[in-house]
Structure 1
Amino acid sequence: MKKVLIANRGEIAVRIAHTCAEAGISSVAIFADPDAEALHVRVADEAYSLEGDAVPDTYLNVDKILAIAKRSGADAIHPGYGFLAERAEVAQAVIDAGLTWIGPNPETIELLGDKVAARKIAQKVGAPLVKGSDGNVSDSREARAIAEELGFPIAIKAAYGGGGRGMRVVHKLADVEEAFESAVRESQAAFGRSECYLEQFLERPRHVEAQVIADSHGNVFVLGTRDCSLQRRNQKLIEEAPAPFLTDEQKSLIVNSARDICREAGYIGVGTVEYLLGASGTISFLEVNTRIQVEHTVTEEVTGIDMVLAQLQIADGQPVPLAGDVEPTGHAFEFRINAEDVGRGFLPATGTVDVFDPPTGPGIRVDTGVHTDSVISGRYDSMLAKVIISGISRKHAIRRARRALKELRIRGITTVLPFHRAVLEEEAFTSDEGLGVYTTWIENEFAARIEGDPAFRQAVPSQERVRMMIEVDGKNAKLGVPAAFMRALVSGGGGAGLEALQGTAQEETANPDELRSPMAGSVLKVLVSDGEEVEQGDPIVVLEAMKTETPVPAHRAGTIESLKVAVGDKVALDDLLAQFATE
């Protein structure tokens, strides 16, 4: 292996390029038009344009990527995570092109990527497993019937999904059909596959996983456990290794069944076997992720093993240089720094990173794909960076994390930093007696605190714009600029205009007859009609941004006088969605 094309973007592309450089392997970056100045483009040895901006035309365009691999002379492709990483047909296309695919073989990806098939493997090797549907569910009516049989709560899951997308937890029969249809839509949008299945959902579960590494010489090892229970909308925010407060029996069951599942599937590469651990102590197999995980960093910090380097070595046919399972040393946390507004229910945020000033010091690692002046759009995942903290014990790592997250400065865009800082003071997370958080802890227990605490309200730059006619090369053109920017220019770059530009201006009084968008995104679904009466909290539209669906509820009861958007429309933060009739 001499040259690796990195079929990804952001922090994972940077991470792979770094390891390639240390291994003496050349790296090739690819980029869509909005990423022309991105960090992964800078750090790779070579970079090639995908000539476009839409995701299907760029990072998901296999033909373009293979053409660039040929043009650049790359002999291997690393997919990172997301995008093409778990698509068996892509792995096969790479192999058919005479290139090395850095990941499991296509047959294994297909087998384990189908969560229904993975459940059958788990059953065969005796892994712990809750009851579920016998295969994929054909439609929402069948989902309702199966849910009634299984009992509540139930989880609706994308059969080919990952990262929490295409998953809905339902607690009552009346919600099953809409939840199923929503899961199908999100799965299709995120993975290009719409199949979903049902299974029982454990109450107040922790999310625990085992890191597996296997080579083509028959070696299958487990590199300890992780806990990823702090999630919002089924997507992880904080991960740690090793998983704390497991009994010896629970740890043994997870580690041994993870090894057995991967061995039975003929797994080769780096992968993760995930489980739910119920409040009662019940453990249930969840899925196998046939790629490197976002949270692989915490395993690296407590084992000293470079997981990306291991991927390169395994893909090159080398044996894993281990004698057996690895016991972790110390403790590590990973904090995902997402562009999301905690005070608005973790809604995706967009804008420009005016300042990115990471923390420093012992035991602190920052993996990122952004820098000062990076522009964050709604096209991609919301993660800006990962702050990884390690210490000699969990308690020590928590103290170090408090200091590091206090030092981290990000300006110009809202992030989840206030949440991370607050969680590090929560007894449910920091107690020496046990872990009190679980996968829906934020929604069930922490959301009320967010609503009442001004610390979670971050200033949002005004979306108001001024448009004017200008002359360019003898031709008239219309120019639109932020109104605050124009006021700043008129006032000589200071005063109230500049303050507004920096997002510190006072919010205008909201019009009670107007429902405005809480985020930038695309209108995925319109749920009401003109003239329809609604109650406060009724969903009006569903927006999609950063691969996630977000229902927008009515802010008050009343009559919809006129809808201002249709399916497919693009909206910005604070755009008018619906006009209510004046009471």
Structure 2
Amino acid sequence: MFDKILIANRGEIACRISRTCRHLGIRTVAVYSDPDRQALHVQACDEAWPIGPAPARESYLNAERILEVARRSGAQAIHPGYGFLSENAEFAQACADAGIVFIGPSPEAIRAMGSKSAAKAIMERAGVPLVPGDHGEDQCPDRLAQVAQEIGYPVLIKASAGGGGKGMRRVDHPEDFAAALEAARRESAAAFGDDRVLIEKYLIQPRHVEVQVFADTHGHVVHLFERDCSVQRRHQKVIEEAPAPGLDAIQRRQLGETAVAAARAIGYVGAGTVEFIMDGRGAFYFMEMNTRLQVEHPVTEMITGLDLVAWQLQVACGEPLPRNQEGIGFTGHAFEARIYAEDADRDFLPATGVIRHLRTPEASPHVRIDTGVGEGDEISVHYDPMIAKLVVWDQDRERALNRLRRALRSFIVVGTTTNVDFLARVAVHPDFRGARIDTSFIEAHRDALCPRPGALGPAPVVAAALHELLRVEQDSRDQAYHSGDPFSPWHATHGWQLNGDGYRALHFMDPSRDRDLQVEVHGHGEEYQLTWAGGTHRARGELQGDGHLHLQLDGIHLDAWVLEDGPRLTVVLDAETHTLVRHDPLAAGMDDEVKDGSLVAPMPGMVVTVHVGPGDRVAEGDPLMVLEAMKMEYVIHAFAPGEVEAVYYGEGDQVAEGATLLALHMEEEEQ
């Protein structure tokens, strides 16, 4: 076994690899970019080395720098994790040339599967079923459009050189093909340095099912069963589960045997994932093979009881697989929910911010938290916005799903927008509970999963008000205790007046509904009477630390968390998150309205394309500018017909969220 390995990655996967290495007595070397100097993965390893500034291409994608650190630190092997250099054949070859073990497949296997077109050709020869389409070398746009016409719309344009939803576009109509092809090529070139694409028939309501495979240098290849990854947005997975629901023993065996055949076809070694698309009849087709450990590998570990990273290390040392196929079984059911910094209500735009508070469910044999961030860490535009992976297990799918729902209720992040509320809605949706899922699940149920803000109920407002009142009373008691006269009436906070009914008024702003709230308060900590929006409620509560508030609202017992971030109060109640802002109505408010006709950046990022200039006339829906951030593109469209008055940023410029990008003189103004 190795004495020391370098982990050429960051975040939760680097922390996860370091845990296994520590258990096996292997020393670990972390690498870090400038903003990651104090990151959790740096603290988790035995030593850490800087490798460059924040942009990944200058740090985590800097192969020469990482190899230099490996040589200088005395690391015998490099574990690439996933993403970054994990599927880079040139890096794997450079490791071999330097006498350093690359913990992954051979450069030849990576190259074979790195091109989707070449991979499909290999699988076709091996008898693995393929989705109808074209994966030839001719990249002429007219020929590709003809292929799409021949196989029939809808079609899927996919980057030939990569995965993860980058460079992928669904096209439903011929007139949209050219623009989608251009966007897919541009995104593919930015993500993988290769703009080649392939065209496939888009299957209606398919499931995404993948099989975990493992192979060693002794000719042994096994599968560790399948995972269902159908719940996706932008072709990227959100919730995964193992085993895939609804498969019978014959389907499960056929999937496993086909995946093993695919691995054997390229002489594969190490951990890999063979991904299939499955139609409504249960027929499955090869999509691609990921030549690395997957983000969702924990669900396989939870049902098999195996440590896949330990297996990777053993195989990389030349040892045979610890078990043969007959010795691998599974028990129960597991889910993984990816906690992202993103805004599900704004089409899952990535979010940034500093994590002010982070509360997670208690870890146990049933609940696992994989994370690479902590309180005080920044979610920036430079890296993937994943905060954590929440993994749960139980004896069957229904029990595991109940655990997932409970765990999501106690997962709290303050300081950035997250998808936790969205995941909680998925977990309780009847179709998800009934395993009626496919890759269009989110789009089909978007209204239920991303509802528009309705009327704000009394519970979150009362919780915020109680938090403020109890905090003031606690501060008053503390001041009284440390004063020279602790029994002075001047320390009282109950609002008593000599000639009238004394009360206090609390003011909040509800930013999601753009509404000011005023709560009139009578009484004190033993019981408050709170009047808000025409209703009167009786409440009492107790602050129990860490923002936990136990309260009674009109006789009903509730538990809430109220966490402060400056003037912002995040209220988590019954698996829903609400944000209220302390508001002083007498203070001058900040004018954050954007003038009519301007278009603003919905997220921080970089301008990659500008389609228009001053004086250009545009129709409603025309693309004006393309932004890129956190591995995704966002197109700014004209919201009305008019004339472009000004363009404030050019290609390559960095922009902040809310920055005005263009000014548009709307035709309606002339009427």
- TM-score strictly above 0.5: yes
Give the counterpart letter for 2:396 in structure 1.
S
Q: 2:412 aligns with which of 409, 414, 434?
A: 409
Q: Distance in 1 between matches of 2:304 and 2:228?
A: 16
2:443 corresponds to: 443
* Alpha carbons of structure 1 residues 28 and 454: separation in structure 2 relative to 1, 3 Å: farther
Q: 1:539 aligns with which of 608, 618, 623?
A: 623
Secondary structure of the residue aligned to 1:284 is strand
Secondary structure of the residue aligned to 1:213 is strand
Q: Aligned ranges for residues 85-164 of structure 1 at < 5 Å?
A: 85-164=86-165
2:120–2:135 CA contact under 8 A, matched in 1: no
Q: Distance in 1 between matches of 2:450 and 2:614?
A: 33
1:578 corresponds to: 662
Q: Distance in 1 between matches of 2:660 and 2:444?
A: 30
Q: Distance in 2 between matches of 1:188 and 1:134?
A: 17
1:192 corresponds to: 193
1:349 corresponds to: 351
1:329 aligns with 2:352: no
2:159–2:195 CA contact under 8 A, matched in 1: yes
1:569 aligns with 2:653: yes
2:370 corresponds to: 367
Cα distance per residue 1:544-583 (max 9 Å; x no partner): 0111111122333433222222111111111101112151
Alpha-carbon deviation of 1:498?
A: 4.0
1:487 corresponds to: none
2:339–2:420 CA contact under 8 A, matched in 1: yes
Between Structure 1 and Structure 2, how many residues are aligned?
A: 545
Q: Distance in 1 between matches of 2:194 and 2:332?
A: 40
Q: With the length of structure 1 as denominator, give the TM-score of the two structures.
A: 0.90
Alpha-carbon deviation of 1:198?
A: 1.0
Q: Distance in 2 between matches of 1:499 and 1:531?
A: 43
Secondary structure of the residue aligned to 2:450 is helix
Alpha-carbon deviation of 1:282?
A: 3.1
* Alpha carbons of structure 1 residues 136 and 436: separation in structure 2 relative to 1, 3 Å: farther
1:309 corresponds to: 310
* Alpha carbons of structure 1 residues 391 and 501: separation in structure 2 relative to 1, 3 Å: closer
Alpha-carbon deviation of 1:361?
A: 4.9
Secondary structure of the residue aligned to 2:133 is coil
Secondary structure of the residue aligned to 1:63 is helix
Cα distance per residue 1:20-41 (max 9 Å; x no partner): 1111110000000011111000
Q: Distance in 1 between matches of 2:105 and 2:655?
A: 39
Secondary structure of the residue aligned to 2:282 is coil
* Alpha carbons of structure 1 residues 498 and 87: separation in structure 2 relative to 1, 3 Å: closer
* Alpha carbons of structure 1 residues 512 and 137: separation in structure 2 relative to 1, 3 Å: farther
Structure 1 unaligned spans of 5+: 463-495
Give the counterpart letter for 2:171 in structure 1.
V
Q: Aligned ranges for residues 93-492 of structure 1 at < 5 Å?
A: 93-324=94-325, 326-362=328-364, 363-431=366-434, 435-447=435-447, 450-453=450-453
Q: Distance in 1 between matches of 2:122 and 2:18?
A: 35
Secondary structure of the residue aligned to 1:166 is coil
235-244 or 544-553, which deviates more? 544-553
215-224 or 46-55, which deviates more? 46-55
277-286 or 223-232, which deviates more? 277-286
* Alpha carbons of structure 1 residues 50 and 405: separation in structure 2 relative to 1, 3 Å: same
Cα distance per residue 1:231-276 (max 9 Å; x no partner): 1111000000001112344323311110111012111100000001
Alpha-carbon deviation of 1:73?
A: 0.6
Q: With the length of structure 2 as denominator, give the TM-score of the two structures.
A: 0.78
Q: Distance in 1 between matches of 2:62 and 2:135?
A: 34
Secondary structure of the residue aligned to 2:567 is helix
Q: 1:548 aligns with which of 629, 632, 650?
A: 632
Cα distance per residue 1:332-354 (max 9 Å; x no partner): 00000111011111001011000
2:16 corresponds to: 15
1:488 corresponds to: none
Q: Distance in 1 between matches of 2:236 and 2:298?
A: 17
1:32–1:53 CA contact under 8 A, matched in 2: yes
Structure 2 unaligned spans of 5+: 457-509, 515-563, 571-578, 584-590
Give the counterpart letter for 1:340 in structure 2.
E
Q: Distance in 2 between matches of 1:99 and 1:359?
A: 39
8-17 or 272-281, which deviates more? 272-281
2:442–2:449 CA contact under 8 A, matched in 1: no
Alpha-carbon deviation of 1:448?
A: 6.8
Q: Distance in 1 between matches of 2:113 and 2:15?
A: 27
1:350–1:376 CA contact under 8 A, matched in 2: yes
Secondary structure of the residue aligned to 1:50 is strand
2:643 corresponds to: 559
Alpha-carbon deviation of 1:381?
A: 0.8
Q: Distance in 2 between matches of 1:438 and 1:530?
A: 44
Q: Distance in 1 between matches of 2:168 and 2:511?
A: 31
Q: Distance in 2 between matches of 1:138 and 1:415?
A: 39
Q: Percent identity?
A: 45
Give the counterpart letter for 1:113 in structure 2.
G
Secondary structure of the residue aligned to 2:645 is strand
2:519 corresponds to: none
Secondary structure of the residue aligned to 1:84 is coil
* Alpha carbons of structure 1 residues 137 and 346: separation in structure 2 relative to 1, 3 Å: farther
* Alpha carbons of structure 1 residues 31 and 455: separation in structure 2 relative to 1, 3 Å: farther
Secondary structure of the residue aligned to 1:246 is coil
Q: Distance in 1 between matches of 2:172 and 2:253?
A: 32
2:68 corresponds to: 67
Rg (Cα) greater in structure:
2
Secondary structure of the residue aligned to 1:160 is coil
Q: Distance in 2 between matches of 1:441 and 1:529?
A: 39
* Alpha carbons of structure 1 residues 186 and 88: separation in structure 2 relative to 1, 3 Å: same
Q: Distance in 2 between matches of 1:424 and 1:455?
A: 23
Q: Distance in 1 between matches of 2:569 and 2:404?
A: 32
1:125–1:257 CA contact under 8 A, matched in 2: no
1:470 corresponds to: none
* Alpha carbons of structure 1 residues 510 and 12: separation in structure 2 relative to 1, 3 Å: same
Alpha-carbon deviation of 1:508?
A: 4.3
Cα distance per residue 1:442-473 (max 9 Å; x no partner): 234315752524599x969x9xxxxxxxxxxx
Give the counterpart letter for 1:559 in structure 2.
E
Alpha-carbon deviation of 1:64?
A: 0.5
Q: Distance in 2 between matches of 1:568 and 1:43?
A: 36
* Alpha carbons of structure 1 residues 518 and 447: separation in structure 2 relative to 1, 3 Å: farther
2:414–2:565 CA contact under 8 A, matched in 1: no
1:76 corresponds to: 77
1:140–1:181 CA contact under 8 A, matched in 2: no
Give the counterpart letter for 1:229 in structure 2.
S
Secondary structure of the residue aligned to 2:94 is helix
1:136–1:196 CA contact under 8 A, matched in 2: no
RMSD across aligned C-alpha pairs, in angstroms?
A: 2.2
Q: Distance in 2 between matches of 1:269 and 1:204?
A: 32
Q: Distance in 2 between matches of 1:217 and 1:265?
A: 14
24-33 or 322-331, which deviates more? 322-331
2:116–2:135 CA contact under 8 A, matched in 1: no
Q: Distance in 1 between matches of 2:141 and 2:76?
A: 45
2:30–2:48 CA contact under 8 A, matched in 1: yes
1:143–1:177 CA contact under 8 A, matched in 2: no
* Alpha carbons of structure 1 residues 267 and 18: separation in structure 2 relative to 1, 3 Å: same
